[in-house]
Amino acid sequence: MSLYVIATPIGNPQDLSFRAHSILSQADLIIGEEPKVLRRRLKEWGLPLKPMECLNEHSRQGDLSELAELCLSHSTVALVSDCGTPGFCDPGAELVALCRKKGVRVRSLPGPSSLMAFLSLCGHRLDQFVFRGFLPAETQARKQALNELRNLNLPIVLMDTPYRLKKTLQEIHQVWPQRKLTMGLDLSREEELILEGRASQILDSLPRDKIEFVLLLHKIQQIK
């Protein structure tokens, strides 16, 4: 019995590794965030439909326990997210920890990661940075989260959902109107784009309102 933590493409479906394709084809069970998305992705990769279970931000502790028990009763279980590497900013990490406690062998299949793809493209050497990840959804909590970062003089990486792209830039403009940003959009897709400048400048350069993105706030002394 093994749980395979499988990285899946962040944009281009051809980025699925040979090893990931092989394990997904052998899996007795696939655990993903959204069944509809997972079914579409399996079709893109030329893989047959498999028994599926759901693990996402709405899952409760009881759901995690049930999934861990399923991992005990199946030979090969694959854990995937909608895109990228599971266990990174999602509840996959909790399932991994629980499976390890129960004696399930957990194995990694590394691959696509929006963070690493962005860092490789941004053109700035970052020997250290703060990964803040996804900001809270509620407006006041978002303001508080950004204000907590105000005096942190390190590069900061932020992420959020595509439909909050403009909202994120507008909020950053309110807190740091002069701070230099680098933003990666539609990473690994044909439309892949890197934008640099202040938040107001990037807002004016967006090709559309809703786009997958990763955002770097540069160190404060790098403002020009």
Angle at 11 between CA 5 and CA 13, to 5 degrees: 75
What is the rounded average pLDDT of the residues 140-147?
92
Residue that has been written with the tokens 């792209």 in this structure? 165
Tell me the backbone φ, ψ of residue 122, rounded to 5 degrees: -70, -20
- Tell me the residue range of the domain where 128 lies: 114-222
Same domain, 205 and 149: yes
According to the model, what pLDDT value does residue 199 have?
A: 97
**Interhelix angle 139-148/165-175, nearest 10 degrees:** 50
- What pLDDT digit, counting tens, does each position of 156-174 carry? 999 999 999 999 999 999 9
CATH number, position 197:
3.30.950.10
- Domain match, 102 and 128 both: no
Measured from the Cβ of residue 57, the count of other Cβ atoms closer than 10 Å reads 8
Query: Do 186 and 143 share a domain, yes or no?
Result: yes
Pairing between strand 181-185 and 213-217? antiparallel
In tens, the pLDDT along 63-114 reads 999 999 999 999 999 999 998 999 887 889 999 999 999 999 999 999 999 9
- What is the pLDDT, as a whole number, of residue 221? 64
Q: Given this model, what pLDDT does residue 223 score? A: 42
Whether residue 85 sits in one domain with residue 31: yes
d(CA 142, CA 180): 20
What is the tally of structural domains in the chain? Answer: 2
**In the prediction, which pLDDT does 88 show?**
82
- Boundary residue ending a domain (75, 109, 143): 109
Site of tokens 């990037």: 202
Residue 151 has a pLDDT of 82
Evaluate if residue 217 carries a pLDDT over 50.
yes
